[in-house]
Amino acid sequence: MPDNFLKRIYALDQAGQPFALAMVVRAEKPASARPGAKAIITADGTLTGWVGGSCAQPTVIREALKALQDGQPRLLRLCPPEKLGAAPQQGVTEVTLTCISGGTLEVYIEPYLPQPHLVAIGHLSVVEALVTLGKGLGYRVTVMSLDSTPDRFSQADHVLNRLDFTQVQMTPQTYVVVASHGNYDEEALAGVLNAGPELPPYIALVASKKRAEALIQVLRQAGLPEERLAQVKYPAGLDLGAVTPEEIALSILAEIVQVRRRALHPSPPTPSLQAWGEEALDPVCGMTVEVATARYITEYNGQKVYFCSAGCKRAFEEEPERYHQVEA
């Protein structure tokens, strides 16, 4: 695997960005890709690397985006119509590609979803419960406070006994809970809201609505932008009627799960996924074409027709009445 390819994977992982790795595991000539060819596909549909030409690449991107949504790997077999069903089918998704000149590609796609990161700020019982429940859910947990020790929070991955936000990388998979119960709420919230150009998707304050609104007003008077203050969720957690520290922690983590899953499985789709959502069939070869990114388009009887390649477009324009997928 080339060094720059590994660096790209490392950079995406460190930034907390989801991506899928696609690798050609089998090829039958004629095919432009060879076994071992690989590519990285990010959530916006960008492909870096090589897993085949203009016919194979859109299909790989489409299936990679589906893998990022459901978190499941998949094995694709891209083959001509006469080879459909010629190999074992269990666990295989077959796609007809007549424009690959009779060759077959098998591509394994594996999604990489970053581990969620819980940052709990405080040193009292709610933080202790957040650490225990967060680790049980598979989160990486960082505790920040002015009165904490590694011994007290032994389950946490990192324990910082100072509010130093330069030591915490905020990513789209970072979820911050301020639970210092009035001890250093103002300092903690100001630190989170000023930590970087991009705010984490969840910033919550464990406080009553009245006390939280008073704190927000103090931060407003200190000059913090209104759009940043609006990102603070208070009271923290879903309204489950929680009373004990453990119940409060449970309601907060339930809300984090809700926020995280909505981001991973957006409905309606996010713009980046919507661009790859609408599909059309190439009437010449039968290949699925992504409408938003189609390069080869013609119009027939007032209807747009989409093609996977210049060859299919040319064939259609020479004999449009031959292809029955387009109705007059």
**Rounded distance, CA 142 to CA 201, Å?**
16
- Band (pLDDT 50/70/90 cuts) for residue 53 is confident
How many structural domains are present in the chain?
A: 3
Q: Are 14 and 56 in the same domain?
A: yes
In the numeric block, the tokens 């074409």 are attached to: 289
Domain boundary among 239, 264, 289: 264
What predicted TM-score, i.e. pTM, was given to this entire model?
Answer: 0.64
Write the CB contacts of 104 (distance below 8 Å, at least 6 apart in sequence): 26, 27, 28, 31, 77, 78, 79, 80, 83
Coil, strand, or helix at residue 243?
coil
In the chain the first and final C-alpha atoms are separated, in Å, by: 50
Q: Which residues pair with 19 in a beta bridge?
A: 42, 112
Instruction: Assess contact for 123 and 180: CB atoms under 8 A.
Output: yes
Domain boundary among 224, 239, 264: 264
Q: Are 179 and 196 in the same domain?
A: yes
Coil, strand, or helix at residue 285?
coil
Q: Examine residue 269 and state whether it is found in any structural domain, yes or no.
A: no
Short-list 183, 179, 182, 163, CA closest to 126: 179
**Rounded distance, CA 316 to CA 283, Å?**
8
Domain of 128, in residue numbers: 117-264
Q: Examine residue 272 and state whether it is found in any structural domain, yes or no.
A: no
Model pLDDT for residues 107-148, shown as the tens digit of each residue: 999 999 888 999 999 998 999 999 999 999 999 999 998 877
**Rounded distance, CA 204 to CA 23, Å?**
40
> Among 95-99, 194-198, 203-207, 236-240, which stretch is predicted with the lowest mean pLDDT?
95-99
Residue 326 predicted with pLDDT over 50: no
Using CA atoms in the order 316, 321, 325, 328, what is the torsion angle rounded to 10 degrees? 120
Q: Are 43 and 140 in the same domain?
A: no
